[in-house]
Structure 1
Amino acid sequence: MEIVKSGSTIQSLQIGMSIIDLLASQRNPLRFSDIQESTEITKSNLYKYLNTLTQLELLYRDKTTGMYSLGSKLIQYGMAAIGNEDVTSRITPYLQEISHHTSCTVLFSVWTYDGPITAKIWNSNQNLNIGAQLGTRLPPSSSSGKVFTVFQDSSITADWIEKDNNVSAAFHRGTKEYQAIQKYKIAFAKEPLVPSVSSMSIPIFNYNAELLGAITAVGFTESIPDHYEDPLSQYLRKSFLEISNIFGYSEE
């Protein structure tokens, strides 16, 4: 690791960023010893850097393995930096349209190392926001969580699902609900996080039918349907195709 000393720069910040650069260049999480060997930072200082970066959510430390990977905060920064070319910006007009049509708070969530997080929120009624906050990690029992459970690679989602104590053991590949989500591309969840608040979600696919994220409409339970035949559900299913098509997806 080469750090250029200068009176106009902060060396400790350079060192911290070099740790992030190292993890960004790796496909797999790293052990403390791996990071120490690559950076040659003293063990006592490296502990301080890693603890600080983890507290800031720039890094994530797996409590089971002790290994480090990039944190969810970097996803938020990346989405803000990419601008009009990123997925979130291209989807935002549709979030506005869906929110206006459904009178719901609408979320766009993406996958991270420990499950999906809310990356964008839109609410046509600024005085009433019953959805999650940016960066909120969503559980498997939520409608967006169900979308990721069904359409994300199971080898990626296994640990996330296992860690969630509230996920129903009855929801798995062989159940009717799982198969219905797979077929109709829409998921429902009745009051998964907050009493009287329910949600419904659709996946967004790219040209390889890979999951880019999930769009979720969140509202009071009485206004959220729980079956795919409902007109509001049909509207969201139509939106799924329309939005996925802009990323090259086709059902044919």
Structure 2
Amino acid sequence: MATATKATGIQSLQIGLNILEILAIEKQPLKFTDIQNLTSMTKSNLYKYLTTLSQIGLIYRHPHTNMYTLGHKLAQLGNVALNQSSLIEVVIPYFKKITEHTNLTILLAVPSIKGPLISYIVSADYGINIGAQMGTLLPISSSTGVVFSTFEKNVFMKDWEEKELPKFNQSELNQFQDDKEKTRRLFFASKTEPLIKHVSSFSVPLLNFNHELLGAITVVGITETVPKSADHPTGQYVLNVAKEISEYFGFKK
């Protein structure tokens, strides 16, 4: 009988997470000495961990009291995780209906530090290579990228945009700005074969009560089957679905 091997974890990461758990359990600001007593770490080692965790925003050191609490980055990551989880639960029945109605593949892309991230897919019956799968990051040149650049307000997504824009030449940049203006008016972005030949897409935003971007619905298929206009019946159908989902999260146009 084969013996199961236990995967080896990263000890330094486990120590850092342990510090975060201690701050969460104590539910009050802690002094350096408090954390040292609870972790039994040496002063020099603990100082390195606290400095690193502070630099990335996972903990906060008050400049006057020198006491430590959980940082803003944890709240930000927690909110993203909650939004993604609840958003996926909401869109599942809608995506099945869209696929049945259009016979096209439907993607849900959500914000991440590195750009729009595919977090859910409902594939059409016929098999085509759409150039993306769960966990794929979509470029700014895609229809999803246009929607994110148009509606996303978070600073970390603006950093993504600044890294992506230099990939355009001047002509492409002018076209991209035109696409954004059109998308802002119509809540609809279309791209012909942005990633793979013969495969095109269009995207529409999902927004909340603060007009913040929760994600984007992207419809993908063979170029001839994907509408390029928001006036097309398929485009209107998906826009109405997106409107209904957005209204669930409190959005009012």
Q: TM-score, normalised by structure 2?
A: 0.66
Pairwise CA distance, 1:130: 2.6
Q: Which runs of 5+ in 1 are unaligned?
A: 1-8, 26-34, 42-68
Q: What whole-Å deviation, never above 9, does each CA across 1:74-126 have from its counterpart, x for those lacking one? A: 99xx96xx799621111111111111111111100111111111000111416
The residue type paired with residue 17 of structure 1 is Q
Pairwise CA distance, 1:162: 3.3
**Paired position in structure 1 for 2:14:** 17
**Paired position in structure 2 for 1:143:** 143
What secondary structure sits across from 2:111 in the alignment?
Answer: strand
Task: Tell me how many residue pairs correspond in the alignment.
Answer: 199
1:112 aligns with 2:112: yes
CA RMSD in angstroms, aligned pairs only: 3.7
**Paired position in structure 2 for 1:170:** 174
Query: Does the 8 Å contact 2:111/2:157 carry over to 1?
Result: no
**What pairs up with 1:91-240 in 2 under 5 angstroms?**
91-125=91-125, 127-128=127-128, 130=130, 132-153=132-153, 155-164=155-164, 166-167=167-168, 168-171=172-175, 173=177, 175=178, 177-240=179-242
Q: TM-score, normalised by structure 1?
A: 0.67
**Paired position in structure 2 for 1:29:** none
Query: Does the 8 Å contact 1:118/1:136 carry over to 2?
Result: yes
The residue type paired with residue 220 of structure 1 is I
> Within 1, Cα distance between the matches of 2:231 and 2:8?
60
Query: Does the 8 Å contact 2:119/2:134 carry over to 1?
Result: yes
**Paired position in structure 2 for 1:39:** 49
Q: Which runs of 5+ in 2 are unaligned?
A: 1-5, 24-44, 52-72
Change (3 A) 1:15 1:183: same
Change (3 A) 1:171 1:37: farther
> Within 2, Cα distance between the matches of 1:36 and 1:122?
47
Change (3 A) 1:194 1:11: closer
Query: Does the 8 Å contact 1:199/1:224 carry over to 2?
Result: yes
What secondary structure sits across from 2:237 in the alignment?
Answer: helix
Query: Does the 8 Å contact 1:185/1:203 carry over to 2?
Result: yes
Change (3 A) 1:133 1:39: same
**Paired position in structure 1 for 2:60:** none
> Within 1, Cα distance between the matches of 2:136 and 2:242?
23
> Within 2, Cα distance between the matches of 1:21 and 1:230?
54
Computing the radius of gyration from Cα coordinates, the structure with the larger value is 2
Query: Does the 8 Å contact 1:143/1:200 carry over to 2?
Result: yes
> Within 1, Cα distance between the matches of 2:20 and 2:245?
33
